[in-house]
Structure 1
Amino acid sequence: MRVIVVGAGQVGSNIAEGLAEKHNVVVVDTDPVKVESITYSHDVLALEGDGTSIETLTEAGIENADLVIASTNSDETNIVVCGVAKAIGTPFTIARVKKTNLLQTWERSAGAFGVDFMVCTDLQTAETIVRIAGLPGAHDVDTFAGGLVRMAEFEVEMESPIAGETVAEADRYESLTFAALLRGDEVIVPTGDAVIEVGDAVVVIGSEESVRAFAASLTPELSLEDVDEVVIVGGGEIGYQTARLFEEEKGVDVRLIERDPKRARKLAEMLPETLVLRSDATDIDFLVREHVDESDLVVAALESDEKNLLVSLLAGRLGVSRTIGVVEAGEYVDLFETVGIDVGVNPRLVTAEEITRFTREQETENVAMLESDRAEVLEIEVNRDSVLFESRIDDAMTELPTGIVIGAITRDDELITPRGETVVERGDHVVLFVDTEVLDEATSAL
């Protein structure tokens, strides 16, 4: 498949990296420095030029392109790129936007703007925050098989009860599979005697109940039922969308702190179930007066990474159990999580993963990407061509490369916990953990 990616920033670069191994990727950007950088760092053809220009798109091979992804920092530019691409070719077009009103307009008018699929960065970020918030201690969460199967990633800290245990000792839940241990740059498919170390990221797949119970065992002070009061700092679009989504959650009280008076009044009108407070959230006296320390979660969604880190540090000092912060600079996520934010969410990476996920879903039922595409969790429907068809799992695994773990099976809307003797049937939905190094081999066999 020939793919043209317009925009070589963090989003475009991540998308190009995720697609380059399997597809013929061309990246277009107006910045010669970015073009030179991506030329040496990725296996792609990089062109300097304006992606809204017919001449540039023609040079990129638009007439033979199967997919065009517009991922510049300008919503309007991305929409124009898709429109021009449709005018001179027949590719499937994907546009990245920040403004939710553009997404709403597109959703109400099929084919609007010449865009076939649209991803809204701010909404996608808010959805990620709310999803992670629902599972204490989790750094990544996703659902499969219509909600029957949940995948979650947890970091093992010094005080974690499973630190130093073997996987067999930590596996105390009937409908849970330990899919992987992510240790530094290493992806480990765990055996029963594998020891879980401090600093590992543990990926588990199973029923919602089992994953929730596992999460509660890791952070007993943060039982799920305790997450009933959320404070959101920052009333920009991400903060607003996060509050709106939390309003839809039953039993969750939401407070939003916004400094600008006009914006605060507008938010109060748009969010009838949210208490909007006008103040500077870096004022510790205000935070004390408003009893922010009694909240279960603080979401820092201000306009700068430094302010979000400061708010998170202040919240932690006051005794808030958990913080989630928006971190625009992707390279700072790990650092900020080390010094003050429990979970950092990078909007550009979230958007890149969603777009890459959509391209992968053309081959599978559902996809979740882990650790910047170091591994993926796939959902497939088994057919006659699959190596799993009418086979025992332990027999089928001998024909698959290492780096694959079958995490769950659903059959007729019922969850089956996979065991070696389990026979996979046609029509079963299988959720698998796959190391990206064997992704192509795995998908062709499955």
Structure 2
Amino acid sequence: MFGNVKSRKNGLNIIVVGGGKVGATLVERLSRENHDITLIDKNRVKLDAITSAYDVMGVEGNGASFAVQKEAGIDSADLLISVTDSDELNLLCCTLAKRAGRCEAIARVRTPEYSQEAAFLRDRLGLAMIINPEFEAASEIARVLYMPTALEIGTFAHGQAEMIKIKVPEGNQMCDHTLAEISKASSSKVLICAVERDGEVFIPSGHFIIRADDKLSFIASRKNARTFLASVGFQTHQVKSTMIVGGGRVAYYLAKQLLNMGIDVKIIENDKERALKLSEELPGAVIINGDGTDESLLREEGIEYVESFVPLTGIDEENVMLTLYARKVSEAKCITKITRMGFSSVINSLDLGSVIYPRYITSEAIIAYVRAKKESMGSNNIQTLYHLFDQKAEAIEFNVDKESGVTGKQFMELKLKDNLLIALINRNGKIIIPSGTDSLMVGDTVVIVTTHTGFDAITDILR
């Protein structure tokens, strides 16, 4: 074992197996939240790089080995997360961890065949979670294509409510009006809960004035979200056609969802064998075997007329280049998949529209679970977690499962922290956009939006 680790307070003891892109992201995010992290990987170079960059320990070896897990401290671990490139290895690591220690276990499972059996595998193996980054990324892309004027769409209250991020265009009717004025003019119950302007994020009051080029996130029930967007001049209909470049797992999962939504799908895949396999698995899609970075092929296949364009190659630079090209020659809604996390300021400056980071989607689901476990040793007090505006703000959905200092009091009576908004209440399936006279009851779920980080419990909203 090697690395330099400090003693942490109130954190969990977590073992991460796999030092690839997802593993490195998890180590970064979890160590930032003051947990004791031990990373297992066979590659000494990866271990050296990650353990020197973060305050973590490293163990070189096979994560499915009992001896290696013992060396990593499985006896005292609270959680093991296996995110190697092998589904089978991840499941084996988690199964061994459940037998060797008393910890919870989370496995990354990406293969479509296993994903269809995720609930069965999770229950039979006793896992806390099985997560599929490619499927989750595809689902996020599909949500945006269902309402293409959105930059991002997050779901709360089991899909009954949405948080939608949009960019305010020049000349939009919201420009130069306060949030109070916008709310008064709209018949839809929505709450604008975060605004990004010139790289700075605001949790706005009713006096905040919207300007052109602001990026704002608002929350509402699904029905009210669309009504509000239509009322302020945004299109709300789904796209009718999509061109996808790259035929990997994300493309497969996305195509299946889009076809079920009645959207025409065309996939351009360079590998002949993969193209043939996709044509068998996706009989409703048009599969083209060719180079999706070839300008003449893209024009021949109708990039100028398609309503949406999603580059899903394995190379970020190609995805960015393809998006910039599509935006130049067409009116298509573009969604760009980015794998690496660096150069976010450059990516943001390119105005690519919607950008999807599969690694973030994976880590946020896991961090929501970790925070819930840290606070209440396994009870599900955090239901959903989203990071907003390049991690400058968080939207967290809490379960209100017991009486506390935040229940039974009108919000105007609570001493809330600054830069925080109580955005939505789900009460027995009824979506409430709260005012100062509302209050929380046991059994509610509540969404708060804040620029603070690391909230574990609903009581953290109090000063």
Q: How would you bin the TM-score normalised by the shorter chain?
A: 0.7 to 0.9
Matched residues in 1 for 2:72 and 2:247: separation? 40
SS of the residue aligned with 2:395?
strand
Please state how far the C-alpha of 1:195 moved relative to its aligned partner.
3.3
C-alpha deviations, 1:65-85, integer Å up to 9, x for none? Answer: 121011234444433432332
Matched residues in 2 for 1:40 and 1:192: separation? 46
Q: Is the 8 A contact 2:247 2:274 kept in 1?
A: yes
Match for 2:283 among 272, 288, 307? 272
Q: Is the 8 A contact 2:64 2:89 kept in 1?
A: yes
Which residue of structure 2 aligns with residue 227 of structure 1?
A: 239
Give the TM-score, by structure 2 length. 0.83
Aligned residues: 440
Q: Is the 8 A contact 1:100 1:122 kept in 2?
A: no
Matched residues in 2 for 1:181 and 1:164: separation? 14
Q: How does 1:141-220 map to 2 (within 5 A)?
A: 141-156=153-168, 161-171=173-183, 172-173=185-186, 174-183=188-197, 186-197=200-211, 200-216=214-230, 220=234
Q: Is the 8 A contact 1:121 1:348 kept in 2?
A: yes
Q: Is the 8 A contact 1:71 1:95 kept in 2?
A: yes
Please state how far the C-alpha of 1:202 moved relative to its aligned partner.
1.7
Please state how far the C-alpha of 1:41 moved relative to its aligned partner.
4.6
Which residue of structure 2 aligns with residue 385 of structure 1?
A: 403
Cα RMSD (Å) of the superposition? 3.0
Matched residues in 2 for 1:264 and 1:179: separation? 44
Matched residues in 2 for 1:90 and 1:187: separation? 41
SS of the residue aligned with 1:205?
strand
Matched residues in 1 for 2:52 and 2:440: separation? 44
Q: Is the 8 A contact 1:139 1:154 kept in 2?
A: yes
Matched residues in 2 for 1:380 and 1:231: separation? 38
Q: How does 1:131-146 map to 2 (within 5 A)?
A: 131-146=143-158
Which residue of structure 2 aligns with residue 327 of structure 1?
A: 338
Which residue of structure 2 aligns with residue 413 of structure 1?
A: 429
C-alpha deviations, 1:253-277, integer Å up to 9, x for none? Answer: 2222223343333222221322223
Q: Is the 8 A contact 1:2 1:67 kept in 2?
A: yes
Please state how far the C-alpha of 1:129 moved relative to its aligned partner.
1.2
Gaps of 5+ in 2: 1-11, 373-379
Match for 1:426 among 436, 442, 456? 442
Matched residues in 1 for 2:126 and 2:426: separation? 37
Query: CA 1:147–1:102 in structure 2 vs 1: closer, same or farther (change >3 Å)?
Result: closer
Identity of aligned residues (%): 29
Give the TM-score, by structure 1 length. 0.86
Matched residues in 1 for 2:314 and 2:401: separation? 48
Which residue of structure 2 aligns with residue 10 of structure 1?
A: 21
C-alpha deviations, 1:377-411, integer Å up to 9, x for none? Answer: 22234355233322111112x2x322321112233
Amino acid at match of 1:326: K
Q: Is the 8 A contact 2:16 2:39 kept in 1?
A: yes
Q: Is the 8 A contact 2:196 2:214 kept in 1?
A: yes
Match for 2:251 among 239, 251, 254? 239
Which residue of structure 1 aligns with residue 384 of structure 2?
A: 366
Q: Is the 8 A contact 2:368 2:382 kept in 1?
A: no
Q: Is the 8 A contact 1:106 1:112 kept in 2?
A: no
Match for 2:115 among 99, 103, 117? 103
Which residue of structure 2 aligns with residue 26 of structure 1?
A: 38
Which residue of structure 2 aligns with residue 88 of structure 1?
A: 100
SS of the residue aligned with 1:225?
coil
Matched residues in 2 for 1:423 and 1:211: separation? 23
Query: CA 1:90–1:414 in structure 2 vs 1: closer, same or farther (change >3 Å)?
Result: same
Q: Is the 8 A contact 1:405 1:433 kept in 2?
A: yes
Instruction: Confirm or deny that 1:307 pairs with 2:318.
Output: yes
Please state how far the C-alpha of 1:370 moved relative to its aligned partner.
2.6
Matched residues in 1 for 2:41 and 2:198: separation? 32
Q: How does 1:26-105 map to 2 (within 5 A)?
A: 26-32=38-44, 34-39=46-51, 41-42=53-54, 44-50=55-61, 51-105=63-117
Match for 1:291 among 302, 309, 332? 302
SS of the residue aligned with 1:153?
strand
Amino acid at match of 1:414: K
Please state how far the C-alpha of 1:441 moved relative to its aligned partner.
6.9
Matched residues in 2 for 1:130 and 1:374: separation? 25
Query: CA 1:24–1:184 in structure 2 vs 1: closer, same or farther (change >3 Å)?
Result: farther
Please state how far the C-alpha of 1:94 moved relative to its aligned partner.
0.9
Q: Is the 8 A contact 2:25 2:359 kept in 1?
A: no
Query: CA 1:200–1:163 in structure 2 vs 1: closer, same or farther (change >3 Å)?
Result: same
